[in-house]
Amino acid sequence: MSCQKVEEYVAGRGFRIVERKSDLVYAALGDLYVSFWCPEKSHIFDADPLELADYLKLFNSDALVVVAYRPYLVIDELQSVADRINRWYGRDLGVKLIGVNAADAEEGLEEAVGRAMAFRPFKIGRGLGDGDLCPNCAKARMRIYASERVFSAKYRSLVSYVVMGCPSCGLRILRIELT
């Protein structure tokens, strides 16, 4: 799958495109930054860890979505790169790595974007405070950080994606409701 299709999908979900390259889309939703990488190869053997992390915007991203025919092989190697950066340079990336199989890219991107939003929902915005009492701590009301209705390729109907979080304990919930 080309990164142009990824870019179109991400823009359709409300993300602002910050930077685009032939194999990389760097997008933001509020202060949540997500990189979408469409590598040509399914291996990263000769890459310098810092150069690769800089190219993929890993130092500035909250999540990296890898769209490839063998995404989990690439993610394993990226985890190794992140471990080397931590061990050699003392820098923890703190990036959520999400894989999307290019053969099922439409369904995979739908799920990956939801997971990326649920990873750090507090960066999306202030949220709406009309949620229920937090089921984890029961101290605060859940805030709704994202709520959207999209046609789901996975469920083949309209669905509502709701990303909620508790400002008190940090609980995060991604709710998918069939409508």
Burial class (CB in 10 A: 0-12, 13-18, 19+), 177: exposed
- The Cα–Cα gap between 151 and 13 comes to 11
**What are the CB-based long-range contacts (under 8 Å, 24+) for 125-131?**
125/30, 127/164, 127/165, 127/167, 131/164
Query: pLDDT tens, 23-70?
Result: 999 999 999 999 999 998 777 767 789 999 999 999 999 999 999 999
Q: Where are the chain's structural domains?
A: 1-119, 122-179
Lookup: tokens for 139:
């101290």
91-103 average pLDDT score: 93
- The Cα–Cα gap between 130 and 49 comes to 44
**What kind of architecture, by CATH, is found in domain 1-119?**
3-Layer(aba) Sandwich (3.40)
Longest dimension (CA), the chain: 50
- The Cα–Cα gap between 60 and 47 comes to 19
Nearest to 33, CA basis, from 55, 72, 64: 64
- The Cα–Cα gap between 156 and 60 comes to 34
Q: What is the predicted pLDDT for the residue at 1? A: 54
Highest mean pLDDT (candidates 46-50, 61-65, 131-135, 153-157): 61-65
